[in-house]
Amino acid sequence: MSLIPKSHPRAKSLFIREKLIHGFDQGLVAKEGLLAQGRGEAFDYLLGEKTGKTAKNAIRAAAAQLLLAELPVISVNGNVAALCPKQIVRLSKQIKAKLEVNLFYANETRKKAVVSTLKKNGAKEILGVNPKNSTKLSGIDSSRRIVDKNGIFAADVVVVPLEDGDRTMALRKAGKLVITFDLNPLSRTSQTATITIVDNITRAIDLLITETKKLSDKNRKVLQKIVDDFDNKQNLSENIIQIKNNLTRRAKIA
């Protein structure tokens, strides 16, 4: 039972923390995943802990890009499996994307825990677990280089939520389009992805699912225009300005 009263002013944020801790206790989340959450929380605080217009624009572009994809793949790590497994599976079904488990702190037991969580939440097939299908992505030294040849390796669009930073560039060099969720607009992943959703994945994932539903009857020309009209650098810059404005406002009242 949760020790957090619903009336606590920071209850939402504390409940998300609890999910991560629970995921850690279940063997899903790496120790470092708890620290990653802390870094995310700090940026979320500075962004105002809500999904602003800037994030909504990125979500719309991401939805359009996913609907245009020939072979979209969603990469799942420990944090994502702990925070929003049901929604990740729902998104994969909605856009007909493959799911692939890919861990930075690679560990077979944790991989199995991620797979079992996704299956419990309705996933049928999860790639990244059969060594016969594994291959290496060049330009990357971490365990993340081991990918499934029918999944990330073959994908045209890859979703890499809560990424550690060394893979996005390698994926881009391999000619792939990369969509990420990252609360830190300054991170290397944010800066090198094709579309960066600067928002808490626990809020943005539902909005992305809704947006893919909304856009699902649009033709490719309309979808391509949404993608072409989106400028990731500009969007990141607007997120940084949003942080600056929030700080300026807070400095005035303090």
Q: Which residues bind ligand PTJ (CB under 6 A)?
A: 30, 32-33, 36-37, 39-40, 43, 77-79, 83, 103-105, 162-165, 181-184, 187, 200-202
Of 150 and 196, which has the nearer Cβ to ligand PTJ?
196
Extract the tokens encoding 42: 């700090």
Of 36 and 67, which has the nearer Cβ to ligand PTJ?
36
Rounded to the nearest whole angstrom, what is the least distance from the CB of residue 68 to ligand PTJ in the complex?
Answer: 24
Extract the tokens encoding 209: 């699912």
Rounded to the nearest whole angstrom, what is the least distance from the CB of residue 18 to ligand PTJ in the complex?
Answer: 13
Rounded to the nearest whole angstrom, what is the least distance from the CB of residue 220 to ligand PTJ in the complex?
Answer: 29
What's the CA gap between 51 and 220, in Å, rounded? Answer: 27
Of 73 and 201, which has the nearer Cβ to ligand PTJ?
201
Of 68 and 209, which has the nearer Cβ to ligand PTJ?
209
Rounded to the nearest whole angstrom, what is the least distance from the CB of residue 185 to ligand PTJ in the complex?
Answer: 9
Say which amino acid occupies 185: P
What's the CA gap between 92 and 212, in Å, rounded? Answer: 11
Q: Cα-flanking dihedrals φ and ψ of residue 71, to 5°?
A: -140, 80
Helices of type H across the chain: 11-25, 31-47, 53-68, 78-83, 85-94, 108-120, 167-173, 188-192, 201-215, 220-229, 232-253
Extract the tokens encoding 116: 């079992």
Rounded to the nearest whole angstrom, what is the least distance from the CB of residue 36 to ligand PTJ in the complex?
Answer: 3
> Cβ-closest residue to ligand PTJ?
40
Of 31 and 252, which has the nearer Cβ to ligand PTJ?
31
